[in-house]
Amino acid sequence: MIDQGNKVLRRADECVTVLSEHGPLTAPDLASHLGIPRPSAYRLASALVHSGLADQDDAGMISLSTKWLWLGDRALASAAGGVETDDALLQLRDATGLTVFLALPRAASAVCIRTLHGDSFQILVLKPGGELSLHLGAVGRVVLAYGPQDTEAFLQAAPHPPATPHSLVAREELEADVLRSREQGYTVSDEDVTIGVAAIGVPILDAEGALIAAVSVAGRREDVLSRRDEIVRELHTCAHRIAERPASAGA
Amino acid sequence: MPSDSSDAQGMSIVSKADRFLTALAEHGPQSVAALARLLDEPVSSIYRLIGNLERIGWVEKGDERGVIRLGLRIVGIAQSVEDTLDIRRLALPELMQLRGRTGESALLCVRRESRAVCIERVAGGEVQSSELPLGGSMVLHRGAAPLAILAFEGEGFRRQYLDRVIADAVNPLTEYDQRRLASTIATVRESGFAVSDGDVTPGGLSVAAPIFDHRGIVVGSLGISGLSALIRAADYEPSDLVTDAAHRVSESLGYRTGGAPR
């Protein structure tokens, strides 16, 4: 009986995942996606609907409710503390015209919490809630260089799976990358996540030098790499603005 | 069937989990003891729940020792919900209802750069205004639907927009126009709806209200548009109909006026 709650919640999470990936489904469809008996799917769906985490329309289609939007906003606010500073990010986006990402360090990844799209292209690889492994992308590799995680353990697990032929996967490559990032104060991601796309990222550090978040600017490779110095300058301005803002208490 | 009954018992855990998430959302990160108090549950069962919720990423440990907060996985789920929300699909039934109730054209606008674009329109019966056809656009400071958007944009955007309009080479605003526009915007913000009476089309009246998303950001406006004489003589209050309809669309986009949903 002790594991009953665990089992049900795991299943509830699988159910939420299926609904978030496939959109509205009927209970029988849900049952087949989850590989569980129909009565269990009906019960699970009705528990989610009853608690307000899902809605069911007249045709019996079950979908995630907008309550998740509220929970998501609150999750962002409490995870990011004072970091969610849209003014600084907006200014960075307007100054560069490129897509801006803000990501938080987590166990073995950088989790994106904010995306502001650029003028010309929407870089869709990273959305709020999405994550990049520490060997991928500007924010992933900024976290690798500055983050609180066990870097040695991560490097030992190399080679890591590549996203493109340009991804850094081997231990030596990643070690060199960490040194380069720390030396330069910024990290360049050149087609290592998406072909044709480059990004530059910098760390946002608190007064003690601990990593609060990583901020990056991404766009068409030519647009980013030809303006490297200017973009790095704008990134540092943004990072300083965010770091200076005191974290709001209890949030 | 034994699996059925344990299933049923287990289901109350979902509502318990929901209450747990709701408490964290309402009160921010909390200690285990505070959560036990808030949810009126023994500390031991709170610990068990946290363990289970942590495993699926719905909650995580905070930066401060012993503090629990909502997990970032929730952000990803929220994003996928947001991605499926389509303002046009959600507003269409409201536009049909407005058209049915008033007999006038009902329309939905969103902002693209510095113009309001009509992305849905349910045509009225007798006299149709041609000022905002489907796909048509208008500057933000004229007409009810554009003004309903402009008035609720952030202050920074509004200032930038007005500076640009004032300095416009072809059609700059006079000082009198500027003062009038500022007072119109203030009125729209206060009343929650915009009225344009004959100032875009002589004899035409339109009334529109803003639509907000879950962050409270204005994402569009909806309203009706028709002959002033007809609407003035009608037995309905256009501003009430329009603000109620816009509010329902906002709610379906996750907008709340306070506290937890439901």
B69 backbone dihedrals φ, ψ, rounded to 5°: -135, 175
Q: What pLDDT was estimated at residue A2?
A: 52
Of all helices (H) and strands (E), which one includes residue A211? strand A211-220
Backbone angles phi, psi at A114, to 5 degrees: -155, 135
How far apart, in whole angstroms, are the C-alpha atoms of residue B34 and residue B67? 10
Residue B220 pLDDT > 60: yes
Which of these three, B70, B88, B108, is where a domain ends?
Answer: B70
In the structure encoding, which two tokens stand for residue B44, read together? Answer: 């031991």
State mean pLDDT over B249-254. Answer: 94
CB A140 within 8 A of CB A196: no
The two tokens of residue B221 are 């406006």
CATH code (residue B182): 3.30.450.40
More confident residue, B261 or B148: B148
Mean pLDDT over residues B197-202, rounded?
A: 80
What span, in angstroms and rounded, lies between the C-alpha atoms of A240 and A209?
A: 12
Q: Are residues B208 and B174 in the same domain?
A: yes
Whether the full predicted model's pTM is greater than 0.80, yes or no, is no
Same domain, B151 and B185: yes
Pairing mode of beta strands A99-106, A211-220: antiparallel
Rounded mean pLDDT of B3-30? 82
| Nearest one of B250, B212, B242, B213 to B225, comparing CA atoms | B242
Strand boundaries in A44-153, DSSP class E: 54-56, 62-64, 99-106, 109-116, 131-133
pLDDT value of position A81: 66
User: Is there a domain that residue B40 lies in?
Assistant: yes
Mean pLDDT for B48-69 is 91
Give the model's pLDDT for residue A154: 92
Domain hosting B118: range is 80-252
On the CB side of B162, CA atoms within 13 Å amount to 19
One domain for residues B148 and B230? yes
Q: Do B72 and A21 touch (CB under 8 A)?
A: no
pLDDT band at B5 (very low <50, low <70, confident <90, very high): low
Residue A233: partners with Cβ closer than 8 Å, 6 or more residues away: none
- Chain A nearest-CA distance from B40, in A, is 18
Q: Domain of B51: which CATH number?
A: 1.10.10.10
Cα-to-chain-centroid distance, residue A205? 18
Interface of B with A in 45-74 (CB under 8 A): 48-49, 51-53, 55-58, 60, 62-63, 69-74
Could you tell me the pLDDT band of residue B238, with boundaries at 50, 70 and 90?
A: very high
Q: What are the structure tokens assigned to A78, written together?
A: 């409490």
* Chain B contact for A9 (CB, 8 A cutoff): yes
Residue type, A234: E
B201 to chain A, minimum CA–CA distance in Å?
34
Confidence of residue B183 (pLDDT cuts 50, 70, 90): very high
Closest CA to A17 of A54, A49, A50: A54
Whether residue B43 is found in the same domain as residue B109: no
On whether residue B257 sits in a domain, the answer given is no
Output phi, psi for A148, to 5 deg: -85, -5
Which of A47, A74, A128 lies closest to B25 in CB terms? A74
- Residue A214 pLDDT: 95
Residue B244 domain-assigned (yes or no):
yes
A66/B contact by beta carbon, under 8 A: yes
What are A21's two structure tokens? Answer: 């990936």
Measure the CA–CA gap between B43 and B26, rounded to whole angstroms: 20
Residue A149: per-residue pLDDT: 80
B79: nearest CB among A16, A44, A128: A128
A118 phi and psi angles, rounded to 5 deg: -80, 180
For residue B4, pLDDT beyond 60: no
What would the pLDDT profile of B93-122 be if each residue is shown by its tens digit?
999 999 999 999 999 999 988 899 999 999
CB B227 within 8 A of CB B127: yes
Contacts of the segment A179-183: beta carbons below 8 A, 24+ positions apart: A181/A141, A181/A142, A181/A144, A181/A145, A181/A146, A182/A145, A182/A146
List the one residue out of B209, B226, B216 whose CA is nearest residue B147: B209
Confidence of residue B1 (pLDDT cuts 50, 70, 90): very low
The mean-pLDDT minimum among A97-101, B58-62, B149-153, B165-169 falls in B165-169
Residue A224 confidence (pLDDT): 95
- Confidence at B127, pLDDT banded by 50, 70, 90: low
More confident residue, B23 or B203: B23
Q: Is residue B178 part of a domain?
A: yes
Element (H, E) at A90: helix A86-96
- What pLDDT was estimated at residue B232? 86
Mean pLDDT across B126-140 = 80
pLDDT of res. B200:
78
- How far, in Å, CA of B195 to CA of B115, rounded? 18
Which chain A residues contact residue B79 at CB under 8 A?
72, 127-130
Using the beta-carbon criterion (under 8 Å), do A8 and B252 form an inter-chain contact? no
Instruction: Say what percent of chain B tops pLDDT 70.
Output: 92
Indicate whether B136 and B54 sit together in one domain.
no
Asked if residue B181 and residue B142 are part of one domain, the reply reads: yes
pLDDT of residue A144: 95
Total of domains in chain B: 2
Query: In this complex, which of A16, A43, A70 lies closest to B8 when CB atoms are compared?
Result: A43
Among A125, A155, A120, A154, which residue's Cα sits nearest to residue A216?
A125
**DSSP secondary-structure letter at A162?**
P
**pLDDT tens digits along A136-165:** 999 999 999 998 888 888 999 989 999 999
Q: In chain A, which stretches have pLDDT less than 70?
A: 1-3, 81-85, 245-251
Q: What was the pLDDT predicted at A250?
A: 35
Q: Is the pLDDT of residue B139 over 70?
A: yes
**Closest residue of B to A20, CA-based?**
B80
State the Cα–Cα distance between residues B114 and A222, nearest whole angstrom: 28
What is the pLDDT at residue A86? 75
pLDDT at B196 over 80: yes
**A197 vs A215: CA distance, rounded Å:** 16
Domain boundary residue, one of B28, B50, B70: B70
Contact B54, A10 (CB under 8 A): no
B154 to chain A: closest CA residue: A87
Task: For residues B46 and B147, state if they share a domain.
Answer: no
B157 dihedral zone (left: phi>0; alpha: psi -120 to 50; beta):
alpha
Q: Which of residues 82-111 of B touch A (CB under 8 A)?
A: 82-85
Question: Do B208 and B150 form a contact (C-beta atoms < 8 A)?
Answer: no
Same structural domain for residues B25 and B43? yes
Residue A174 to residue A167: CA distance in whole angstroms? 10
- Choose one of B70, B93, B112: the last residue of a domain: B70
d(CA B227, CA B240): 18
Mean pLDDT of B232-247: 93
**Mean of pLDDT values over B135-152:** 94
